[in-house]
Homo-oligomer: A and B are copies of this chain.
């Protein structure tokens, strides 16, 4: 069994679970996100000690909602988790010292990509991308049957490739301009709808509901998001020749509004050789994604060869 830690900007959880994904025990608490690194560390140790039981554990997997250097076990400051500092906090080594277990950590986008690949909508592939489309847009890449880590476990920043150039490109909170995230994250879609005169609640979910009810401003903001998401997927397809792209969060909640226009935009911006047979599907794990991501952070083994269990090309 594995001890999993899901570190989020709002809420964190610790859990004991079997390697096949069955959860034995789980505790959760609000993250002291704006406390310092030592307070955050003590909070996670507390959660882990609270959840530990009589089971023999083989290791600890940490899915971190912050930039991470998986190879060196570091987490870095993020806007919603500033405490770790810019030089990186050695979370894996510090947890291993206290818990007396081997610890592996992954950025949550990478960990969720592994979880969707092993247990969810990515099963059976060797080359897939998982995109989370929520407060931010991140991704994890499975290439040639393994998580792509690159030089230092960074990369996968599909939310910050430019999808609009020139003077009209929107500024992104990251400091660059024209980023996909500046058009297609939940907050960006909401902001764009508001700029165009929408007066409703300032949340991605409210914009999606209004669009479903026919509000033209919200429909327009989501159509623009879908168009730019398709452009981001086209870049992934042209560079990486993927089998499947799994879309999470907003793309699951609003699949009825987004998936078809995302596909259209993708196919208009990439060669048929690279889009024929390329499946674009919603994530399948739902509420289990974060728990399984923590598991997969420790045990990123290849899935048994198996046919895809999800629906195929949309």
| Number of copies of this kind of chain in the complex | 2
Residue A306 is within 8 A (CB to CB) of chain B in the complex: no
Residue A269 is within 8 A (CB to CB) of chain B in the complex: yes
Complex: how many Å from CA A175 to CA B240? 20
Residue A158 is within 8 A (CB to CB) of chain B in the complex: yes
Report the minimum CB–CB distance from A59 to chain B (whole Å).
22
Report the minimum CB–CB distance from A170 to chain B (whole Å).
12
Residue A304 is within 8 A (CB to CB) of chain B in the complex: no
Residue A116 is within 8 A (CB to CB) of chain B in the complex: no
Is A154 in contact with B239, judged by CB distance below 8 angstroms?
no
Is B166 in contact with A164, judged by CB distance below 8 angstroms?
yes
**Which residues from chain B contact A152 at a C-beta distance below 8 Å?**
241
Is B143 in contact with A148, judged by CB distance below 8 angstroms?
yes
Instruction: Bits for A223-235, please: 1 = Cβ < 8 Å to B, else 0.
Output: 0000000010011
**Which residues from chain B contact A1 at a C-beta distance below 8 Å?**
none
Is A154 in contact with B241, judged by CB distance below 8 angstroms?
yes
Contacting residue for A166 out of B154, B165, B241, B269, CB 8 A: B165
Residue A210 is within 8 A (CB to CB) of chain B in the complex: no
Residue A82 is within 8 A (CB to CB) of chain B in the complex: no
B-binding residues in A (CB < 8 A): 67, 126-127, 141, 143-144, 146, 148-158, 160-166, 168, 174, 176, 178, 231, 234-243, 269-271, 273-274, 277-278
